Structures are given as structure tokens and as C-alpha cells.
Amino acid sequence: MLKINIQPVTAFAQNSSLLICPVTQQAVLVDPGGDPQILIDLVDKNDCNLERILLTHGHLDHVGAAKVLAEHFGVTMIGPHIDDKFWFDALPQQAQMFGFSPIEAFLPDAWLAHGDEILFGEQQLAVRHCPGHTPGHVVFINHASQSVIVGDVLFKGSIGRTDFPKGDQAQLIDSIKTQLFTLPGEFIVYPGHGPSTTIGEERQTNPYLSGRFG
């Protein structure tokens, strides 16, 4: 069973996720948003071999420590979809806007597309493109453990913001309904902020998806 370690970082309490194959101890780190030393310690404490860094989207609170950690561990940064390139180009402006320390623009080593698969150890992550919060947002599905890392697409009782440049609430709701709510209800949802939930719970009770709001 995939080991999932959630570590909140930065003042935004962004959930970085360390995913470890229990058989091989190969691992990937999703959305290292900041506090690089905390995340270095997390990898070291779990005695795992970090293979790469995965990014769900280009907002600074999800990618802020990615370059530092990629250089520290000698690994590549993969994702999100290329439609988020403008967010990476604007990282210095994002730092100013969000009150983060100054950061230089960088790009991932490779972009992801809908339908891609990521392998590490004996684990497999399916990539689905879920635009709306940002145009290039992706999610990572592990069918074996019935879990999905969703970034800022879906939260417990809420959905991602769409008031940033190129955000689109109708598109976001469509992404959730077609790419997430088609998963079985028992799948555990690991959002980019806040507590985990399940697909079934959000299908039944999330007010933004039931028509009560928006």
C-alpha cells in the first residue's frame, strides 16, 4: 500500500505530499511549496530515495521550494500541464503578490499531459488534466491505494478559487465532475490545503457541486 505523508508548509498551510513505495522505498514529492528544510528533513526521516518532484499547478505556494529541493536531491521537476507556464514565468510577481521571499522564475524539466503515467518503485500515478483553478492544473491518481492528490481543485466542503488570472469556475466544476467524481466514492482525496476527504462525501455534501452555491 502506498505510503502518503502530508506535511503542511508556509503560512498558507499548503499540503506537500511525500509518496513512498513501501516495497522499494522509492518516492516522489508533490507540491513542495516552501520551507525546504522541513521537506528535506521529511525525506531524510522516512529513509526513502526521492526520484522526482511533481507539481499540480504553478501557484507559488505549491512550487516555491521545488527548485531548491530538485537541486538538493539531484532530481527533476515534472508538471503541471504547459498551460500553467505563464504562472512560472510570473513567479517573481507572485512572490510580491503573496508576500513570499523574492524568487527567480524557473520552469519544470518536463510538462505533463492528460493520460500520462508516472512510475516510481512499484507504484503508478495516473495524470488527469483538471483546469479551472488554473488552466494547467493536474491531479495524480493512485488506483492501488484508492487515493488522489488534487492540489487546489477540490477541498473538503469547497472548491478551488477561480478569481486568479485565467481561472474559470464553470470549467473547474466540469473538471471535478468529469475527472474526480467519476472515481469510486471510497477514494481518499488529499487536497492542497486542509483535511482529507473522500470522493463519496464530496459528491453528496459539497455545496458547490450540489447546486446550493454557484
CATH number of domain containing 83: 3.60.15.10
Domain span at 7: 3-205
Answer yes or no: is 214 within a domain: no
pTM to 2 decimal places: 0.97
User: Considering Cα of 75, then 107, then 78, then 97, what sign does the dihedral take?
Assistant: positive
The confidence score (pLDDT) of residue 214 equals 47
Residue pLDDT, tens place only, 22-58 = 999 999 999 999 999 999 999 999 999 999 999 999 9
Chain centroid, CA 135 distance in Å: 14
> CA-based angle 117:22:192, to the nearest 5?
60
Quick one: pLDDT at residue 212? 60
Is 190 domain-assigned? yes
Q: Which residues contact 130 (CB under 8 A, 6 or more apart)?
A: 137, 138, 139, 150, 153, 172, 175, 176, 179, 180
Instruction: Check if the beta carbon of residue 135 is closer than 8 Å to that of residue 114.
Output: no
- Which residues of the chain fall short of a pLDDT of 50? 214
Q: Is residue 116 part of a domain?
A: yes
User: Total domain count for the chain?
Assistant: 1
Separation between Cα atoms, residue 78 and residue 130, nearest integer Å: 16
**Phi, psi angle pair for 23, to nearest 5°:** -85, -40
